[in-house]
Amino acid sequence: MTKNMGATDKTIRVLVAIGIFLLYFFNVIEGTLAYILMALAIIFVLTSLVSFCPLYKPFNINTGKHKK
């Protein structure tokens, strides 16, 4: 599993996850939408921690530093 996420991509994902967590904490979102968004937030955090996004692989997307 090679890393395919750059620092900017990881930062954006973590910020979006924090935003979703805050929306849930302050009861702005609830019900099924809240569960779906919380699952997405958890996926964002996990992919940021391992620096690998499985959806990038089939499309050969790499937001990390490119080797010359």
List the chain domain ranges.
7-50
pLDDT score, position 68: 57
Tens-level pLDDT at each residue, the chain (68 residues)? 788 999 999 999 999 999 999 999 999 999 999 999 999 999 999 999 999 999 999 998 899 886 65
Is residue 56 within 8 A of residue 3, CB to CB? The reply is no
pLDDT score, position 22: 98
Closest among 6, 5, 7, 29 to 19, alpha carbons compared:
29
pTM of the full structure: 0.87
Q: How far apart are CA 4 and CA 50, in angstroms?
A: 10
